[in-house]
Structure 1
Amino acid sequence: MNILDSIIQRKKEEISVAKSHISIQQLKDSEFFGKEKFSLKQNIKDKNGIIAEFKRKSPSKGIINNQSSPLEVVSAYENFGASGISILTDKDFFGGNFEDILNVRNHINIPILRKDFMVDEYQFYEAKSIGADVVLLIASCLSHQQVQEFTALAHELGMEVLLEIHTEEELNHFNLEIDLVGINNRNLKDFKVDLQHSVQLKNQLPKGVLSIAESGIYSIENFKYLTEQGFDGFLMGEYFMKNKNPDKAFEEFISNTI
């Protein structure tokens, strides 16, 4: 069993427990469920295209930063021009939780991506209830039919969809209802990074689809290369979070690239 299989197995266990404690109706009754959402798709077009991530740890890197305050970091991301915020909500493998979104939602006015492994419709109601504007669908975890059904549900709930792919086969998961396509530079099964592979996949997307380069962007040179290759957006977390002051790292990055 690879790490992705382990994560999905654990995720399904978590969902089962969550369903037994909180009903979908209770999620619908939450503070944020009825609030208007921000559009990441529009912000990618209008701003610098960076989706800046708050991330404590990962299976491949271990602890990245367990000291910084979510509110302090994401507020700086917004202040220095990020198009959107990505926040991990997986606890066991990434050290995330719902509180990281709940505690910042009322303090920032740009879209928040709930970054997690979405494998059950219940999670979409969760995402809406905590104030997420966008959900991530990882093609390697889902069937083509699930991507279609989950996309329809997300839109019904007023959220946008970022579809993540890594292989040519996963290009088949795309449909015209998808808002943005993320191409993961890192293989989730073995965590190897290949920027050129991502460029090749991007070039096979239908014309006009907004493309997001995800993960493995370790330097300004990586960023500039992917920009030159035509990516519309960039999901970046570790580059900033590995610093003692991620907010300062983001400010410096912006000053050197944008």
Structure 2
Amino acid sequence: MLQELLAGALSDAEQRLHTRPLASAEAAARAHAPALDALAALAPIDRVKILAEIKRSSPSRGSLAAITDPAALAVSYETGGASAISVLTEGRRFHGSLTDLEQVRAAVSIPILRKDFIGTAYQVFEARAAGADLVLLIVAALDQGTLVSLHDLIRELGMTALVETHSADEVSRALDIGANLVGVNARNLSTFDLDQNLFGTLADKIPSGVIRVAESAVKTAADVAHYRAAGADVVLVGEALVTSDPIRTLSEFLAV
């Protein structure tokens, strides 16, 4: 499934190249206002922080919410206390777009993550040009050389990479490139099975000074508390927010 999603995202990016060449995307990225400091926004404090996600659909759950106004939802997230916002921009299975990200950027003042299946410099330039402050890099999807080059480019453009892992080996690879923000995804992106305890088994391998993000398998405040007890500085939440009153749900999650 991961390889299918990556291949689709790369194919779609290749199509966009026909209307917006690489040089144009790079120029727009470098001309954009400076990225917000995501590491400061997500830095550990005495309570958990929430990375709130705008997600219409997923391969594992199907349709979740129509989200006709992503900017309005993003404002609700910011009002509710989210520290940053994740915007799914993958179109085939998650029904997102870079337009969603641009609309969210115009509406909120907290950092925004481009969550997609990133494998090329072009996609990184697109992210910055659209106003992203963070870009997702999935270790399992990339060879180490590509991971290094994309991570370096993200930093060069003033953004932060959220480097997603699923195993001890992947955590090691993330640390080897100097990642400051490491996510552990409870969802196996090959089988889409969930293991909520995976974060706890890997958290100790992520040193202090690196922000730890727990991803997936969050439905209730108890799930957030589970991750917080295991050492999560930040918890990424999507489905639980788009299928509920986001401000009320954020209040419950931030109270753990």
- Range class of TM-score, shorter chain: over 0.9
Which letter does structure 2 place at the counterpart of 1:35? A
The residue correspondences of 1:123-134 to structure 2 (distance < 5 A) are 123-134=123-134
The aligned runs of 1:85-104 (5 Å cut-off) are: 85-104=85-104
Q: Which residue of 1 aligns with 2:186?
A: 185
Task: Quote the residue 1:198 is aligned against.
Answer: 199
> Distance between the aligned counterparts of 2:51 and 2:31, measured in 1?
23
- Aligned 8 A contact 2:127 2:135 in 1: yes
Amino acid at match of 1:237: G
Superposed counterparts of 1:131-150, under 5 Å: 131-150=131-150
**11-20 vs 134-143, greater mean Cα deviation:** 11-20
- Aligned residue number for residue 110 of structure 1: 110
Q: Distance in 2 between matches of 1:189 and 1:78?
A: 32
Q: Give the match for residue 216 of structure 2.
A: 215
User: Unpaired segments of 5 or more residues in structure 1?
Assistant: none
**1:27·1:33 contact (CA, 8 Å) conserved in 2?**
no
Name the stretch that deviates more: 168-177 or 150-159. Answer: 168-177
Query: How many percent identity over aligned positions?
Result: 31
**Rounded Cα–Cα distance in structure 1 between residues aligned with 2:116 and 2:31:** 19
Q: CA deviation at 1:29?
A: 4.4
Q: Does the CA contact (< 8 Å) of 1:135 and 1:162 recur in 2?
A: yes
Q: In the alignment, what sits opposite 2:225?
A: 224
Aligned mates of 2:53, 2:73 — CA distance in 1: 9
Unpaired runs of 5+ residues, structure 2, are: none
Alpha carbons 2:56, 2:63 under 8 Å: kept: yes
Partners of 2:26 and 2:122 within 8 A in 1: no
Q: Distance in 2 between matches of 1:187 and 1:141?
A: 12
Query: What's the CA shift string for 1:204-256, capped at 9, x where partnerless?
Result: 1233221100111121111111111111111111111122x4344334544xx
Instruction: Tell me which amino acid in the other structure corresponds to 1:27.
Output: A
8 Å CA contact 2:29–2:125 kept in 1: the answer is no
Question: Quick check: 1:32–1:131 contact (8 Å CA) kept in 2?
Answer: no
**Residues of 1 paired with 2:31 and 2:192: CA distance?**
35
Q: Matched residues in 1 for 2:67 and 2:122: separation?
A: 31
Distance 1:36 1:252 in 2: 33
CA distance in 1, matches of 2:253, 2:163: 26
CA distance in 2, matches of 1:220, 1:241: 15
Q: State the secondary structure of the residue aligned to 2:205.
A: coil
Once the two structures are TM-superposed, the CA of residue 21 in structure 1 deviates from its matched residue by 1.9
Supply the RMSD in Å over aligned alpha carbons.
1.8
Matching residue of 1:9 = 7
Q: Shift in Å at residue 177 of structure 1?
A: 2.6
Kindly indicate whether the alpha-carbon contact (under 8 Å) linking 2:81 and 2:251 is maintained by their aligned counterparts in 1: no
